Amino acid sequence: MNTAAVDPTADLTKELLAALKAHGITAIRLTHNRRLLLGLRGVRGRAVTLSIHHDLASQREHWNDLVRWVAAGGRELSRTLRAAMDEVFARQQRALPLPDLAPLGGPCDLPAIARHVHGTWFPHLAPVPVVWGRNAPAGRRRQIRFGSYRRRPAGITVHPLVDQPWVAYRFIEFILFHEYCHHAQACRPQPGETAHSARFRAWEARYPHRDVALAWERAALPRFLGTEAAP
């Protein structure tokens, strides 16, 4: 006798969508994204898609808090839901040991690292100003953008949270390399090209420590977000 395979993920998505449909959610996206455990995406100011980490979505005891959070437009995170998110982060941290990369060991000399990245890999491009961004208000963060590139006027901004002695030098170097790849795009634009196009990914792959820098980022993210103490 043939039996159909049961997809527990599909059942979970269906149940959660039913619980949230009355609050405007029309789609559920289950993720394993370590950058953002919980997020709303809307159209014309109305939230229609909920992105949620699978481990968090499977905790049905927190669904009532999740419904209230969605109903409030993502602005009222209960203590119990926050604690559940922290536990997901903690489990990720235990599962991902921090790769052995040399730490800064002191204050970050951002201009010096920027000069090194430019001179080593992008000397054919005009250098761009690299500055620290503004820190977020006190409190735990749910996501973080480590670097950003601005086309006009050209410039790179780095999140000040990486200016800590325990942060790996290679990780900051990779942030700047990544943003300089965006600068390369801006210097040689192609019509209709997306920010992280195939051309961009090919350039980014030239950074010799890319894989270990990304692995370090994944393991260190809970510390940056305030769910784990720094060493």
Percent of all residues in the chain with a pLDDT value above 90, rounded to a whole number: 45
Cα 106 to Cα 40: distance, rounded to the nearest angstrom = 37
Is the pLDDT assigned to residue 102 strictly greater than 70? yes
Residue 41 — very low, low, confident or very high, per pLDDT cuts 50/70/90?
A: confident
Is the pLDDT assigned to residue 27 strictly greater than 50? yes
Q: What is the pLDDT of residues 163-191, one digit of tens each?
A: 999 999 999 999 999 999 999 999 999 99
* Mean pLDDT of the residues in the chain: 84
Cα 154 versus chain centre, distance: 23
Is the pLDDT assigned to residue 203 strictly greater than 90? yes
H/E stretch holding 155 reads strand 155-158
Is the pLDDT assigned to residue 1 strictly greater than 50? no
Domains of the chain are 8-95 (3.30.2010), 110-224 (3.30.2010.10)
Q: What is the pLDDT of residues 78-87, one digit of tens each?
A: 889 988 888 8
Q: What is the pLDDT of residue 74?
A: 82
Q: What is the pLDDT of residues 119-153, one digit of tens each?
A: 999 999 999 999 999 876 544 556 788 999 999 89
Q: What is the pLDDT of residue 197?
A: 92
Per DSSP, helices labelled H in the chain are 8-20, 54-57, 63-71, 79-95, 110-121, 169-187, 198-204, 210-224
Centre a 10 Å sphere on the Cβ of residue 150 and count the other Cβ atoms it contains: 15
